[in-house]
């Protein structure tokens, strides 16, 4: 069949018109684990805990080798992830509990009233026409009805910790469920994806409880996987003299690591169902999948069990500050890529804003910046090189870390303070804070930390 001049131009015009159409706004699927440290995953070097699906997700995308939380405790860390603001700004300083402890301070009864006015990623995206859904652990107040632009919610109450037959809130209405909590969350996530129209973008968070305690209630097959594991390579030590929360877990360290590993692998098994449904619904190519954890965890390292509150004084060891950060987006994020730059939870909101073409909220004094270019393998503008410095803050303890050194300041400098030369001492065993050879480094980091605390305290 020969083409006339008119038919040639008519058929040839279609691709040109298509090229001029704006690209559809990307979907975002955030998978958030509870108490999952980077060091626990195979793609971050662990050879004892089985995470084949998360490892495959990392190989099929980009993994950040140095991703840090701002606060090594759940509620405060989540608030920073979703708002891009520090605990001094959003007002959640600790985990939320109806029974906080006074000495040493542990827990916070409720967010401040001002927290309801915080602007979250979901608020921003919902205002731009995104369908927003939240499934799993919220733990930032108002657990039954989170609000913040989430039109579909399936959430746990803050104090609930049962992996079997949980009581859940579905769109604000309490329901009694039957089954394994982790799989129930996956099923609700799949239901949400089934309801999506490819013409309208979505932002979905699936916030699993795994591998948070209790370590009971998981399917038996996961416990069987580790029945004979000795975890000699995990680096656990006998209980330290300053061990606090969950010290009893160290009385059977190997047994409890086995149970924690079972919970991690149970989480890992949820990834294929989510990715498969994206593919079945034709959503895979336009969906950014992000996998991370809300804080790290020790599992016996340094003679401590849990996280920042595992010891007195508060600790900011690498194991509790470093979390996985994996980006997967076919055709948009390089595969088998590892980024060495230091990034923080407070950088996440501006990163998602850049990816989705939305503006970060004005007037919020955000301390983070977007690392979307790094994740997508694009060069940063020369005028804005990446600042290799991250900060942490937890009650009376603050941290500044660059690629070589970590400074921990307590009680506004009264101590006890710490400085570690990480390249020579990656296990953080030798505190060189008082070593005169490191005075220049110590003073430089202290000045940068003080400036950060001053600028982002409100």
DSSP letters of 363-374? TS-------HHH
Distance CA 427, CA 35 (A): 20
Give the span between the Cα atoms of 53 and 50, in whole angstroms: 9
pTM of the model: 0.94
DSSP secondary structure of 102-150: TTTTB-BSS--GGGGGPPPHHHHHHHTT-EEEEEE---SS--S---TT-
Q: What's the rounded mean pLDDT across residues 432-442?
A: 98
Number of other residues whose CB lies within 10 A of the CB of residue 357: 11
> By mean pLDDT, which of 68-82, 183-197, 291-305, 378-392 is the weakest?
378-392
At 17, the pLDDT band (50, 70, 90 cuts) reads: very low
Q: pLDDT at position 381, please? A: 76
Distance CA 48, CA 268 (A): 14
Closest CA to 217 of 181, 246, 184: 181
pLDDT recorded at residue 443: 98
The verdict on whether omega for the bond into residue 214 sits within 30 degrees of 0, i.e. cis, is yes
Give the pLDDT band of residue 16 (cuts 50, 70, 90): very low
Question: Does 177 score more than 80 pLDDT?
Answer: yes
Q: How far apart are CA 412 and CA 453, in angstroms?
A: 11
**How do 131-136 and 173-176 pair as beta strands?**
unpaired
Strand partners, 154: 135, 170
**DSSP label of 246:** T
Work out the average pLDDT over 210-221: 97
When pLDDT is cut at 50, 70 and 90, the band that residue 9 belongs to is very low
SS3 168: strand
| Position 40 confidence tier, pLDDT thresholds 50, 70, 90 | very high
Which residue has 């005028």 as its token pair? 383
Tokens read off for 428: 């953080």
Q: Is the pLDDT of residue 8 over 50?
A: no
Strands (E), 146-221: 152-156, 167-170, 173-176, 202-207
Q: How far apart are CA 21 and CA 246, in angstroms?
A: 56
Distance of CA 340 to the CA centre of its chain: 17
The model's pLDDT over 326-358, given as tens digits with 9 standing for 90+, comes to 999 999 999 999 999 999 999 999 999 999 999
Predicted local distance difference test score (pLDDT) of residue 299: 98
88-131 pLDDT, tens digit per residue, is 999 999 999 999 999 999 999 999 999 999 999 999 999 999 99
Place 202 in a pLDDT band, splitting at 50, 70 and 90: very high
Mean pLDDT of the region 197-211: 96
- Split at pLDDT 50, 70, 90, the class of 3 is very low
Question: Are 101 and 107 in contact, with CB atoms under 8 Å apart?
Answer: yes
Q: CB of 305 within 8 A of CB of 299?
A: yes
**How far is it, in rounded angstroms, from Cα 358 to Cα 328?**
20
Structure tokens at 77: 């860390």
- Banded pLDDT at 23 (limits 50, 70, 90): confident
State the pLDDT at residue 253: 97
Average pLDDT over residues 150-166: 92
Taking all residues of the chain, what is their mean pLDDT, rounded to a whole number? 94
Q: How far is the C-alpha of 204 from the C-alpha of 196, rounded, in Å?
A: 11
């Amino acid at each position: 069949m020969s083409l006339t001049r008119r038919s040639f131009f008519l058929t040839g015009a279609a691709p040109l018109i298509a090229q001029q159409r704006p690209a559809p706004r990307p979907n975002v699927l955030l998978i958030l684990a509870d108490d999952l440290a980077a060091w626990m995953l195979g793609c971050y070097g662990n050879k004892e805990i089985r995470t084949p699906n998360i490892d495959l997700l990392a190989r099929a995308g980009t993994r950040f080798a140095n991703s840090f939380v701002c606060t090594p405790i759940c509620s405060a860390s989540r608030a920073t992830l979703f708002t891009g603001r520090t605990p001094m700004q959003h007002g959640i300083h600790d985990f939320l509990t109806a029974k906080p402890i006074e000495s040493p301070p542990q827990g916070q009864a409720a967010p401040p009233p001002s927290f309801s006015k915080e602007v979250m990623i979901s608020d921003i995206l919902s205002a731009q026409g995104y369908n927003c859904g939240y499934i799993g652990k919220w733990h930032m107040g108002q657990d039954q009805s989170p609000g913040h632009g989430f039109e579909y919610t399936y959430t746990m109450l803050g104090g609930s910790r049962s992996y079997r037959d949980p009581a859940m809130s579905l769109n604000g209405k309490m329901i009694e469920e039957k089954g394994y909590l982790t799989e129930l969350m996956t099923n609700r996530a799949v239901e949400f994806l089934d309801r999506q129209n490819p013409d309208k973008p979505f932002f979905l968070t699936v916030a699993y409880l795994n591998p948070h305690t209790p370590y009971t209630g998981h399917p038996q097959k996961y416990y069987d996987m580790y029945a004979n594991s000795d975890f000699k390579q995990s680096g656990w030590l006998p209980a330290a003299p300053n061990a606090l929360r969950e010290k009893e877990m160290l009385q059977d360290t190997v047994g409890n690591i086995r149970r924690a590993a079972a919970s991690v692998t149970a989480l890992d098994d949820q990834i294929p169902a989510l990715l498969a449904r994206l593919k079945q619904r034709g959503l895979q190519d336009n969906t950014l999948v992000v996998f991370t954890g809300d804080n790290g965890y020790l599992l016996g390292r340094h003679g401590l069990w849990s996280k920042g509150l595992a010891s007195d004084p508060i600790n900011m060891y690498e194991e509790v500050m470093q979390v996985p950060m994996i980006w997967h987006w076919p055709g948009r994020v390089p595969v088998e890529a590892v980024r060495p730059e230091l990034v923080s939870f407070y950088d996440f909101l501006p990163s998602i804003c850049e990816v989705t073409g939305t503006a970060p909220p004005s007037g919020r004094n955000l301390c983070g910046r977007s690392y979307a270019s790094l994740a997508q393998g694009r060069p940063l503008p020369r005028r804005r090189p990446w600042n290799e410095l991250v900060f942490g803050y937890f009650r009376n303890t603050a941290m500044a870390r660059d690629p070589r050194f970590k400074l921990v300041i307590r009680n506004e400098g009264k101590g006890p303070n710490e400085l570690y030369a990480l390249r020579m001492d990656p296990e953080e065993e030798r505190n060189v804070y008082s070593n005169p050879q490191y005075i220049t480094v110590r003073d430089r980091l202290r000045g940068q930390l003080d400036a950060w605390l001053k600028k982002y305290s409100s």
